[in-house]
Each structure stands twice: as C-alpha cells, then as structure tokens.
A = this chain, B = another copy of it.
C-alpha cells in the first residue's frame, strides 16, 4: 500500500515534547493565577449550533468560521448545523444563558480552551489557538470595582511568568466617547474610523494622520485634529501622574465625566489590589472592540518588546447574552492568546531553556538487577519525583546520551558497588557533578536540588 504523507494543516502549532512542556507550564501558570483569584473553571464543547454561534456576528467572523458535519449530514447535503467556536465569549454567553438559574452571580469563570478561525495561512497567524479567559458576569448590575480586579490578575500572571517588565494600560470607552462627542464626532462608526487613522501614528507619523483627518473623508478642523492627537498620546507614569492627567482633562459631557470618574476609581482600586504603580498606566489611545466594550478597556505590553503588541486585553461590556436571554448581564473580562504569546516569546528568545518534566533516569547496568532499578524508581515516584527507568538493555554511555538529549537532569546508577554499599551514584547533568548518596538520603537530596532549581530564575 502506498504511504500517506504524514502532515498537519498550516496554521496550527504542534510542538515537540520539550516545547510542549514549556507551553504546558505557561498554561498551568495562567490557570493557577486565575484560580488564586477565585475564578471557577468551565469548559464548553468545541462545536456549537451554527445559529447559536453566528447570531450577532458580522461578515469577517462568519467568513472565518469552520463548519462541521457528520458523515450522515454530509451525505444528506444541506447547510451544516454545527460550527467550531471562534472565541470563548460567545460560548460563555450561551453557557450563562443556558444555565442562568443554576449559577451564582456575580459569576466568576475562567476558561482555557482552543478556538478556531479560518485565517489566511501566514507566519504567526493561527487557525487553532488557545485562549485563556476570565470574566465576571453580574445579574442586572456589576460594580465597577470588578474592573480593578482584572489588572490585579494580569499582574499576578505575568509576574509569575517572569518574561520581563510589562505595563497594563487602561482607558475608558465613556471617556473616549465623551471626548469625541465634544468634538462633534458623535457617530460611533465615525469615531472608529478616526481611531483607525490614529492607530497609524507610529507607522505613518503625525503629519500623515493630520492630513488624512483634515482631508476630504473626515473634514475635521485643524484644532479638532490637534486635540485628538494630544488626547490619544496621553500616557501616564506612576499612579500620581495618572490621576493628575485625568484631572487635567477638565470637565466635559455627562458621558465624559462619568468615564473620567470610573477610570479614576479603577486606578485607585488597582493600587489597593497591590499592583505596583510601575505596572499600570492610562493610555487614552486604547479602544479595543468599539461595538462591544462600553467602559474600562485594557491592554498589556512588554516594556522591552513593544513589537509583540498586546499580550492580554479585554474590557467592560454592558450585556453579555442579549441574543439568548432577556436578563441583563453586564460583565468585565480579559483574554490571553496563549498560543500566539508562546510563539512570540519563543521568537523573542524570552522562554527559559527547555527542561523535561522527567527529573531522573534510572540506568540499567545489569538486567538481572531490574527489580532493584524498579524499586528505586518506585521510591522516587512515590516522593513525587518523575522518573523513567531504562528497560531496554544497552550501553551505559548511550543511556547517558539519551538523558542529555531528553533534558533529564539526574542520571542514577545502581552498580554492584552501590548495591553492596546501599547507595546510589547520581550524575547531575545540569551541574555536571557526580556524587554518591545513601539510598535513605536520595529523595531528600534530589528534592533540595530540584527546589533550588525551581526557585532560580531560568
């Protein structure tokens, strides 16, 4: 029979084991921090009914959906009934609406699952990727205080990930909307178009943006454009500076004033949550999804790697599940695109060196002593030290080489001398040291070394 070429579709991230371990550590750290802040896990099916998934979505999203059909449905023809989720927000809305009467509100959920988008194949674009989301959903109302909890979680996650200094940027959609209304740009779509031009500041420069906004399509006055360019370039450094810059904005419409007051309150509480003032700031250019967010919005960037863009974003929305329930469900949430983040960190050389989950390899010197090797491995495993035993006979040098390639740190040798003396010879491949230790002391010795390694920055 001819061979089928073994291959995967483009746009997926399939990893070799050591990279998978590093990726798993990223997900585990995110999850541990979500749990630490009292978020509860949910998982939803990868497929939803197409009519549920696509209720409110516009063209772009719908064009990127993957549809699913069983063999039977395919044979019958007709439109597919099912589709793969393209984010975790629509499934959350469906979940909350479906289980509304079984949930306690405010409902604090985390969800770490893969989502699917039929993106054009391109380097760094993924068709299958993990999202790690938290949201707090209120019934009828949700205090703006929850908006301050999100930066606290973001801070906790990225501190522990230890990928360098980062800044959590905050803005407020009401403030932004009020500002544009004050300039006579009341229409949300028109605001979006202006912001899209403003986004080109870094790439095209101020002159280009100014010319465009004063040009035919927009027709804004020189003064209005100057005010816009001043406004969107506002960034704070430190807590006091953030408050001072908000104060300096002065008064405006009711919407504007409400936005300023909200942002001020959120900043004060972010500080009370213990986030260091070096790690949060206001940035009045941040807009996020204009049709979706209604209050606080967040982005997070690595100070030393701005080209990576936002690594964690989100915001406050008015009503989660208007398509599925008459209940009013305001919420606030953030999302980390873990697949893209991992890929980018690896590209930027920010990932620690690969370490196996396997910590010890018990070598095989003499197959007659296999029971002793297995016994030794059992002792280590019961102590929580992940251990592999060489079961296939082979040269000792090859066994050491295997451990080295596999990223296993400790190679254990139980030769006739060690068996006679009740000891084990340990070769530490990381430190390039070798020592002999009494069997009774082995677990303690390895644990001390492993705990030191975990405490050390990678």
Chain A residues at the B interface, C-beta cutoff of 8 Å: 1, 3-9, 12, 14-18, 20-21, 24, 35-38, 40-49, 51-52, 55, 62-72, 74, 80, 82, 84, 93-95, 97-99, 102-104, 106, 108-109, 114, 116, 118, 128, 138, 141-143, 145-146, 149, 156, 269, 272-274, 321, 323-326, 356-358, 361, 370-371, 374-375, 378, 381, 384-389, 391-393, 402, 405-406
Contacts of A114 in B (CB 8 A): 46
Contacts of A326 in B (CB 8 A): 3
- CB nearest to A358 among chain B residues: B38
Q: In the bound complex, how far is the Cα of B8 from the Cα of A402, in angstroms?
A: 47
Q: In the bound complex, how far is the Cα of B8 from the Cα of A49, in angstroms?
A: 7
A326 CB to nearest chain B CB (Å)? 7
Q: In the bound complex, how far is the Cα of B322 from the Cα of A1, in angstroms?
A: 9
List 5 tightest A-B contacts by C-beta distance, closest first. A38-B388, A70-B118, A17-B40, A6-B97, A6-B324
Contacts of A65 in B (CB 8 A): 70-71
- Contact of B387 with A145 in the complex, beta carbons under 8 Å: no
Q: In the bound complex, how far is the Cα of B80 from the Cα of A251, in angstroms?
A: 59
- Contact of A269 with B80 in the complex, beta carbons under 8 Å: no
- CB nearest to A357 among chain B residues: B35
Residue among B47, B103, B138 making CB contact with A128, cutoff 8 Å: B47
Contacts of A116 in B (CB 8 A): 46
Residue among B17, B128, B272 making CB contact with A370, cutoff 8 Å: B272
Q: What 7 new A-B contacts, CB under 8 Å, besides A6-B98, A14-B42, A38-B388? A: A3-B324, A3-B326, A36-B385, A143-B393, A149-B391, A156-B381, A269-B374
- Contact of A391 with B145 in the complex, beta carbons under 8 Å: yes
Known: A6-B98, A68-B66. A24 touches B12 (CB 8 A): no
Known: A14-B45, A95-B14, A106-B392. A67 touches B74 (CB 8 A): yes
Known: A80-B74, A98-B7, A323-B3. A109 touches B370 (CB 8 A): no
A20 CB to nearest chain B CB (Å)? 5
Contacts of A37 in B (CB 8 A): 381, 386-388
- Contact of B82 with A9 in the complex, beta carbons under 8 Å: yes
Residue among B67, B374, B393 making CB contact with A71, cutoff 8 Å: B67
- Contact of A41 with B357 in the complex, beta carbons under 8 Å: yes
Residue among B41, B67, B97 making CB contact with A20, cutoff 8 Å: B41
- Contact of A9 with B45 in the complex, beta carbons under 8 Å: yes
Can you list 17 A-B contacts with CB-CB less than 8 angstroms, sorted by A residue number?
A4-B55, A7-B98, A9-B48, A12-B45, A20-B40, A24-B41, A37-B381, A38-B388, A66-B69, A66-B82, A68-B84, A72-B118, A108-B388, A142-B392, A145-B370, A272-B371, A272-B375
Known: A69-B67, A387-B37. A52 touches B6 (CB 8 A): yes
Residue among B38, B93, B371, B385 making CB contact with A386, cutoff 8 Å: B38
A378 CB to nearest chain B CB (Å)? 4
Q: In the bound complex, how far is the Cα of B80 from the Cα of A66, in angstroms?
A: 11
Q: In the bound complex, how far is the Cα of B72 from the Cα of A370, in angstroms?
A: 58
- Contact of A42 with B68 in the complex, beta carbons under 8 Å: no
Contacts of A38 in B (CB 8 A): 358, 361, 386-389
Contacts of A63 in B (CB 8 A): 71-72
Q: In the bound complex, how far is the Cα of B14 from the Cα of A47, in angstroms?
A: 12
A239 CB to nearest chain B CB (Å)? 14
Q: In the bound complex, how far is the Cα of B392 from the Cα of A141, in angstroms?
A: 9
Contacts of A95 in B (CB 8 A): 6, 14
Q: In the bound complex, how far is the Cα of B43 from the Cα of A143, in angstroms?
A: 40
- Contact of A384 with B36 in the complex, beta carbons under 8 Å: yes
A316 CB to nearest chain B CB (Å)? 14
* Max chain B Cβ within 10 angstroms of own Cβ: one of A9, A38, A142, A358: A38
Contacts of A15 in B (CB 8 A): 42-43
Known: A1-B323, A392-B143. A273 touches B378 (CB 8 A): yes
- Contact of B62 with A7 in the complex, beta carbons under 8 Å: no
Q: In the bound complex, how far is the Cα of B69 from the Cα of A116, in angstroms?
A: 12
Known: A67-B69, A104-B405. A357 touches B9 (CB 8 A): no
- Contact of A274 with B24 in the complex, beta carbons under 8 Å: no
